[in-house]
Each structure stands twice: as structure tokens, then as C-alpha cells.
């Protein structure tokens, strides 16, 4: 199973998980936080705008993790800012 398939499958299970699998922890935390916020607003208000935002965020984060995984597989490192969490915990 290729890295693209694993990244896409993990992203479908939980938004942000595909970015975490690709090594982009900050992006994963942001995607998950935005997803949870939109989900809560959709549940609490029932407004179609938040429901569409929730579904759009899920689709966007899955597409982004898949494209990043393709870039990693082809040997191109994604243009990632210094990941503060990785730097802090890796020493």
C-alpha cells in the first residue's frame, strides 16, 4: 500500500490524521481544530452554511494530505515551515 493511499485513508477516518501521517503536526492540529469547531457549530445551529463548511473542510484536508503524500513520494519535500512541535520534542 503506497503512502498516498495510507494518507488518504487516514484522513477520511479523522480530519488532520493524514497531515500527521505526512509529518505535518501543526497542520494536523489546525485542521482538526477547525473541523471540530465547524462540526460543533453545525450541530448547535443546524445552519446549512456550517454543515457545508464542515464537509468542505473534510474534503479539503483529505485532498491536501493526498497531494502532500504524492509530493513526498516523488521526492519533493513539501514547503513546510519549521514545525515547532517537532523541533521542541525531537531535541
Q: Tell me: the pLDDT tens digits for 4-20?
A: 566 556 666 778 888 88
Q: Tell me: the pLDDT tens digits for 17-69?
A: 888 888 888 888 888 898 888 888 888 887 888 888 878 888 888 888 888 88
* Alpha helical stretches, state H, 3-83: 3-13, 17-21, 25-45, 48-73
CA distance 22 to 28: 9
pLDDT of residue 13: 73
Question: Is pTM beyond 0.85 here?
Answer: no
> How many residues are there in the chain?
91
pLDDT of residue 81: 45
Amino acid at each position: 500500500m503506497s503512502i498516498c493511499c495510507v494518507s488518504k485513508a487516514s484522513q477520511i477516518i479523522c480530519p488532520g490524521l493524514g497531515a500527521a501521517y505526512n509529518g505535518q503536526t501543526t497542520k494536523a492540529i489546525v485542521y482538526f481544530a477547525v473541523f471540530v469547531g465547524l462540526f460543533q457549530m453545525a450541530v448547535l445551529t443546524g445552519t446549512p452554511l456550517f454543515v457545508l463548511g464542515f464537509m468542505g473542510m473534510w474534503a479539503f484536508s483529505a485532498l491536501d494530505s493526498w497531494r502532500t503524500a504524492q509530493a513526498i513520494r516523488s521526492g519533493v519535500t513539501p514547503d513546510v515551515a519549521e514545525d515547532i512541535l517537532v523541533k521542541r520534542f525531537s531535541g
